[in-house]
Structure 1
Amino acid sequence: MVPERENAASALNGLLPLRREYTQAWHGFDRNEVRQYLDHVEAQLRRVVSDRDAAVAQTAAVARELESVRQQVGQLEARVEELKKPPERLEDLDERMQRTVTLAQARADEIVKRAEAAAEKTWAGSTEASTKLRERYTRLVTELDKQADLLHSEHENALSETRAEVQRLTVEAAQRRELLDNEAERKRRKLEREFEASQTAQKAALEKHVADQRTASKNQAERRLAEATAEAKRRLDEATGEAKRRLDEATTQAAQRTTAANRKVERLAEIREQARKSLAAAEDILNRSETQLATLPEEAVIPQASRLVGGDSPAESPTTPAAPVVPVVQPTPAKPSGATKASAPVPVKQAPPVKQAPPVKQPPAAAKQAPAAAKPGNNAPAKQHGPATKPVNGNGNGAAKPLTPAAGKPSS
């Protein structure tokens, strides 16, 4: 593009200024008028050249704008690449986002191609106009050369034609310049609108994608929270039911054990009451026996004691030992506990045996009356209310073994 402009400028510099020397003759035109005409034509040509240079400059400006648009497109492509960078992989983007990026790239390529085509078209138009102007200039120069030869006959026609042509070229150049300006402005605005629309669409798509991602993340978080809450509630209900069941079992077992312990305590209380009554009866019998033994005469005690222990008559047994004191078993009070053990019986100390005096020989009649005299009151032995005794051996000799009541065993 630049070499063509340099060639056009060198060609114009070779043509200008126009040749002003003519062969003098006696019969011809006025040299001042010819010079004025040539100056006028040269001025017109200079204006045409300046218009041509302005069009070339405008074309260069359009080319610079095209380059700027290309740079902007490059920046936009870099921006699109930056926008595509946050996801690590392209597969992470959804299908619609990939399609949007592809469409944006295709649209940017289309815009670049259209801008290049418009610039090429504008440059071709400018080159064509310059070529036409150059051809026209050449034609004018040729016509001027012809008019120089035929100046007398064609002066007015050439002047009018040249003026009309220059005027037409000026109008056409102005119109062409205005058209180029309008076209460039229209294309610039169109590019701006398309770029803004593309940016708006991309921004809306990105915002919608971000909103969808946020909504999906929020829904997923709420769903997971609800699942965790339900799981925690279920486990809490299971733990509560298990704890309640174990508490009920422990309460039932405690109630059963308490009932069994109460029964054992009641049984032990009954046994203690029975033992107390037995002990009181034994003490009563012992006291009465001691009282009766103390009030009886010595001769009456011996047969009575012999009769109590089941021995022989006084006549047959010259030496009969005194009846031993019956030991009374006194059970200890039962302790109110679930595992109470019966205490060992505590025997009462026996009184020392009474030494029997040697028997006195009596006549048979007195001997027969002795047993009857030994009976106090109704002459009958005292009825025993205490525990019975039995002889140790068959002949009645030896100490009597008391029949103690069996100690109450605590119920298990």
Structure 2
Amino acid sequence: MVSERDNGLLPLKREYNQVWHGFDRGQVLQYLDHVEMNLRRVMADRDAAMAQASTMSRELENARAEIRRLHMRVEELKKPPERVEDLDERMQRTVDLANSRAEEIVGRAEVAAEEWAKSTDVSSKLRVRYQKLIETLESHAKALDDEHRNALDATKNEVRKLTTEAAQRRTALDIEAERKRRTIEHDFDTTMASQRAALEKHVADQKTASKNQAERRIADATAEAKRLVDEATARAKRLVADATADAERREDEANRKVQRLNSLSDQALTRLRKANDVLTRSHSALTPLREESVVDLTGAAPIEPPTNPVAGKPVATFAPPTKVVQPIKASEPEQAKADTALPPTKPAHEPVEPASAKQK
């Protein structure tokens, strides 16, 4: 099993502060990996040797216990028998077998003892090697720590020196910058004063020229606006006159269409009345005789509407149209621009109920 010291030793420390001077980080990590791998292998060998030694120790203890038990048995057998019957050949063979067994166990115990001695030597060697590796690692770690501390101190000293030099350089630069700033401000104030005077004179001249030019442009714009207003007024009057004439023309055309539609409606109404008269006469002519009309009322079939004898289809009458389209009068010139013709009104189709159905 891994000891408390091993747990504190592994894994090895790998985090170091980066400095300007020192060992190569990759080489250090590679060396630490190699050392850690060797250390782990040594620890594994040590644990295996210790486990083997423990096993051999248990076997040796068992062999010693067996030897003691057999020695006690041999001593019991070596005692003189109390009776003559005990000295038989069987007992002698038993004693011989016990002695041979004891010799065998003694040989095994000696072999186990030799193995134990060898494992003890191996364990001692591994322990010594382990201690040497630990001392080597501690020395390397101490050397690395010392070098890191020295490099850190050197870096701090260099940084302190650079900081002092930078502060002195900054002070000198601040003094030089302040001197240049004052010189530039004086030159700038002088230049700005001269430019301000020239600019004020230029602005005054520009104001005078702009005022004259603005007055001239206002006069030109006023004349141009008056001319445009006159032209727009004349054009608007002309457009209104054209629109009024177009609207009157469209209104006359619409009235003519309405009159034509009214005449067509009257003609259709006359034709419908004539068709109704023809249907009425046809119905009276198709009325069945008295002998043909005697039928069983309980099983009477529904009476079909009279059909046209010529076409063989139901006769329907059409009611006259109930609404006549009146002419539309345009109220504004814009309405005259809509060049749309009024659709002719269609007579409403209404089927006329046959006279036979009314009698029923």
TM-score normalised over the length of structure 2: 0.30
Greater Rg, structure 1 or structure 2? 1
Higher RCO (CA 8 Å, separation ≥ 6 residues) = 2
Where is the helix percentage greater, Structure 1 or Structure 2? 2
TM-score normalised over the length of structure 1: 0.27
